[in-house]
Every structure is written in C-alpha cells, then in structure tokens.
Amino acid sequence: MSSDPESPQTSNLKELEALKAFREELTKEGLIQEGDTLGTDKDHVLLRFLRARKFNLKNAKTMLVNCIAWRKSVCDVGIDELYRKIDPYGYPERNAVFEHWPIWYHKTDKKGRPLNIESFGSIDVNALHEVISPERHWETLVVTAESLVREVLPASSYAAGRVVDDVFVIVDLKGFGLKQFWQIKYVVRDCFQISQDYFPETMGKLAVINAPSSFAVIWKFVRPWLAQETQDKVEILGSDYQDVLLSLVDAENLPASLGGKCTCEDKGGCVVSNAGPWMDNRKERREKWLKCERNAIGLSLDRKTPDIQQPTTPAPLEHETEEKHNEQ
C-alpha cells in the first residue's frame, strides 16, 4: 500500500500543531474553501505557506490572503477564468512560442519530482513578439506556472503514490548572454515574484547549467530577487554537468540534449512533448472540467444570481488519487 498522497509532509510535532492551528484559524475566517483550485483544504498546500514564513501563523496567513486576492484578479480576469481561456498545453501559438522561449515540463527525476526545463539560450524576444503579443505571452507564463500546482504536481503525486510537492528546475544558459538578459530581465523578475509569493515552496532544486562567463553579472542582478531559502536551492554548474544531472534524473527521463536518452521522437521532440504523468487522459479531463464549468455558470445565470461564487476547477488528478488510494 502506498502512503496517503494527502498526508502532511512532516513528522515534527510543533509543525503539526502549527498546521492544526493554522487550519482552524483559516476555517474560522472563511478562508478555507473545499475543492478550490488553490487547494486550501489540503494539508500539504497549507504547509507550503507555513514553511515559506517559517511557521509564523500571522505572516503565513497574510501570504495566503494575498495569494487568494492575486488569484481572483490576475490578468484582470482571475486565474480560473484565465485557465479556461488558455490551455497551457494546447494554445494555438504554443509551438511557435516554444521555438523562441522554450520553458516546459518533462517527465520526473528519481524523487518523482517533475522536471521544469528552461532553455534560455534559445530565447529570441523579437521573433517571439512576431507570433504573440507581450501581454498574451505573459498570460501563457502565468497559466504554465498555475499548471504546476493544478495538474503537474497532483499527477506526479498520483504516479508516485505519495505527495510530490516541488519541482526540479533546470536552467540551460548555453548561448545565453547579457544582451538577452537585458531584454528579459523584468519578465524573469516577475516570474520569480509570482513563484515565491503565490506558489511558495514549490521549487525543490534549481540547477543552472552551461553558465557563461557573464553569469557573474547576471547573478548579481538575479540574486536580490530571490529569497534566501530559494538561493540555497540553486546549484550553478558549468558545461560539465551531465554526471550531476544523471545522478538525479534517470537517463530515460532526461532529454538527450542534456546528456540523457530521451528524444520524445514520437511526440515531436522533448520541448513540445508535454511528456509526463500529467498528460494521462488529460484531454478528456479538461473537456469534462470545461463542460462542468459551462453547466455551472449557465445554472447561475438561469437563477439570476450574479453574485454566486463561481465554480472552481478540481485538481485534475486528485479525485483519481483518492480513488487509487481507496482501492489499495
């Protein structure tokens, strides 16, 4: 029998007591919403906010409240509406965008963590904006970040039979220089900001590979954007990185371009393949969710209750996780 994928990831008595107190306070103030897309009814989600604020309940609650507000207002429509509007794995410009700004999830490491691979050397902002506007590109970055907690981590947890609550990020700087950095530095800063503030404690490790000689200058700008806890998870490597990555990722899961054996030849290449457990029956799950959303919204309109709380998206694999656990 596998461990419960929803059980708290801590055996520390003080942390468990803080978690209990945190949940009670949030419930009393109506901040816990069962089935919401943030997952406030899940212990491991609340633990992310507690850990991000060193188990200071007041600071953790402030962080959670700010996160909820951001989710309701991001890109002027809120995260749930944005996720309906843009499928991070199927929007029309996706292949063209990934040619000029390749950031993708790809299989898992030896700990079951999803890989997030970012090939900064391939970034071409001018070519990118010929196929997508800066505003829409930012929206795709937001929904891609959201897909980590909404789909990728729940699916990875389902596959592992336990909670997988963070991601292994690999940033490839081969061919990346200062000119490119000056063009994208504010987007990079904003990506770090939403990651740390609204998706806390979801980055387990960040490996920077093929770091160029100019990286010292780049790091001088980037480092202040990162919390100390995030900085501690960064490992900076040069061009001799393959052994390190292969010690963490099975060769079959690591793209050949990074020293592994995977090519995703049958899926158009690793960059656009979406390969990973989160793609299992994904098309059917998304269509089912969209149908439920349309029916629920239509019902609210029929009842003429515009103030009714909008339905939220169930994490696509969490119900399946529960079913699997019950079967076992």
| Confidence at residue 289, expressed as pLDDT on a 0 to 100 scale | 82
Pairing, β 103-108 against β 114-119: antiparallel
Q: Where are the beta strands (DSSP E) in the chain?
A: 103-108, 114-119, 167-172, 203-209, 234-236
Residue 16 is assigned to a structural domain of this protein:
no
Q: What is the spatial distance between Cα 303 and Cα 307, in angstroms, rounded to a whole number?
A: 11
Alpha helix positions (H), 53-133: 57-73, 79-85, 94-100, 125-131
Residues β-bridged to residue 234: 206
Residue 208 is assigned to a structural domain of this protein:
yes
Instruction: Please list, in sequence order, all residues whose beta carbon lies within 8 angstroms of the beta carbon of residue 102, skipping any fewer than 6 positions away.
Output: 117, 118, 119, 122, 123, 271
As given in the structure block, the two tokens for residue 92 are 């029309």
| Confidence at residue 288, expressed as pLDDT on a 0 to 100 scale | 86
Q: What is the spatial distance between Cα 299 and Cα 261, in angstroms, rounded to a whole number?
A: 50
| Confidence at residue 3, expressed as pLDDT on a 0 to 100 scale | 41
As given in the structure block, the two tokens for residue 71 are 């989710």
Domain CATH number, residue 133 = 3.40.525.10
Q: Can you give the pLDDT of all 328 residues of the chain as single tens digits?
A: 334 455 556 658 899 999 999 999 999 999 988 888 899 989 999 999 999 999 999 999 999 999 999 999 999 999 999 999 999 999 999 999 999 999 999 999 999 999 999 999 999 999 999 999 999 999 999 999 999 999 999 999 999 999 999 999 999 999 999 999 999 999 999 999 999 999 999 999 999 999 988 899 999 999 999 989 899 999 998 899 999 999 999 999 999 999 999 999 999 899 999 999 999 999 998 988 888 766 655 544 343 333 323 333 334 443 344 444 444 4
| Confidence at residue 106, expressed as pLDDT on a 0 to 100 scale | 97
Backbone angles phi, psi at 273, to 5 degrees: -75, -30
Residue 113 is assigned to a structural domain of this protein:
yes
Q: Find the domain containing 178 and state its range.
A: 85-279
**CA dihedral angle for residue 278, residue 281, residue 284, residue 285, rounded to 10 degrees:** -40
Q: What is the spatial distance between Cα 297 and Cα 138, in angstroms, rounded to a whole number?
A: 26
**Residue linked to tokens 């997508």:** 132
| Confidence at residue 292, expressed as pLDDT on a 0 to 100 scale | 77
Give the count of domains, the chain. 1
Residue 319 is assigned to a structural domain of this protein:
no
* Number of Cα atoms under 13 Å in the Cβ half of residue 187: 18
Residue 313 is assigned to a structural domain of this protein:
no
| Confidence at residue 305, expressed as pLDDT on a 0 to 100 scale | 32
Residue 174 is assigned to a structural domain of this protein:
yes
- Dihedral of alpha carbons 244, 266, 316, 305, sign: positive
| Confidence at residue 126, expressed as pLDDT on a 0 to 100 scale | 94
Q: What is the spatial distance between Cα 50 and Cα 305, in angstroms, rounded to a whole number?
A: 36
Backbone angles phi, psi at 103, to 5 degrees: -135, 115
Question: Which CA distances in Å does 225 have to 195, 229, 231?
Answer: 11, 12, 9
Residue 250 is assigned to a structural domain of this protein:
yes
Residue 61 is assigned to a structural domain of this protein:
no
| Confidence at residue 72, expressed as pLDDT on a 0 to 100 scale | 96
